[in-house]
Amino acid sequence: MILTRRAALGTLAAVAMAPVPAFALSTGDAQTLVAGLVREVNAVIASGKPEAAMLRDFESIFDRYADVPTIARYALGADARRASPDQLRRFTAAYKTYVAHKYGRRFREFIGSEIVPGDARPVKSWIEVNTSVDLRGREKFYVDFHVSDKAGRPLFFNLIIEGVNMLLAERTEIGAILDSKGGNIDALIAEISR
């Protein structure tokens, strides 16, 4: 059988474009991400810094460990489709600060406590990593992190705090604020930027 240059190039192109198995996110990758996140959060909690400094630290942690664009788009819901690229960019930036400060204030309640990473298991297209929060003088509670690598690296995109889904709660809250602003995305951005 004689192989022509055209056939050889066609075969080479077909091989080059053949699907390559994607590297799947492992439970170990997800646990490593959450362990790093927990280590940094515990360090900030134990730092004794003033609230403003702690909130800046929490925002930095959120930016490094969370899939902020995915979380922000989900929180905005269907309105993300009608937002201009500039509005979406500004909303994402404002939302990052808003949610980091909101949950950062919640983490400040953990002063004197420790967040402990636990088991991980695959769920649909992500990995769920369980953690427990050992509060001094109070009953332990649980926070589950949903981790995905859809952004190109492992990042968390959701938290379940004692059964309360952060994505759903945030979508409801952001939707209510947007409704109170008559559907005006710029007014929503201004409101959450306060």
Taking only the tens place, the pLDDT of each residue in 71-81 is 999 999 999 99
- The CA R_g of the chain, rounded to the nearest whole Å, is 21
Structure tokens at 165: 């889904």
What pLDDT is recorded for position 18?
Answer: 37
Mean pLDDT of the region 21-32: 81
Contacts of 45 (CB under 8 A, 6+ apart): 54, 107, 108, 110, 111, 113
Residue 160 has pLDDT above 50, yes or no: yes
For the domain that residue 76 is a member of, what is the CATH number?
3.10.450.710
What pLDDT is recorded for position 11?
Answer: 40
Question: Does residue 61 lie within any of the structural domains?
Answer: yes
Question: Does residue 21 lie within any of the structural domains?
Answer: no
Question: Does residue 1 lie within any of the structural domains?
Answer: no
Question: Does residue 76 lie within any of the structural domains?
Answer: yes
81-106 tens-digit pLDDT:
999 999 999 999 999 999 999 988 88
Question: Does residue 66 lie within any of the structural domains?
Answer: yes
The fraction of the chain above a pLDDT of 90, given in percent, is: 69
Residue 17's pLDDT band, with cuts at 50, 70 and 90, is very low
- The strand pairing partners of 147, in sequence order, are 127, 156
Q: How far is CA 40 from CA 20, 36, 79, 138, 148, in A?
A: 36, 6, 34, 23, 20
| Cα 29 to Cα 156: distance, rounded to the nearest angstrom | 11
Of the candidates 104, 106, 102, 75, the one whose C-alpha atom is nearest the C-alpha of residue 91 is 75
What pLDDT is recorded for position 16?
Answer: 39
pTM of the model: 0.82
182-194 tens-digit pLDDT:
999 999 999 999 9
| Cα 143 to Cα 130: distance, rounded to the nearest angstrom | 6
How many structural domains does the chain have? 1
Question: Does residue 17 lie within any of the structural domains?
Answer: no
Asked if 98 contacts 192 with a C-beta cutoff of 8 angstroms, the reply is: yes
> What backbone torsions phi and psi does residue 49 show, to the nearest 5 degrees?
-65, 160
Question: Does residue 47 lie within any of the structural domains?
Answer: yes
Range of the domain at 117: 27-193
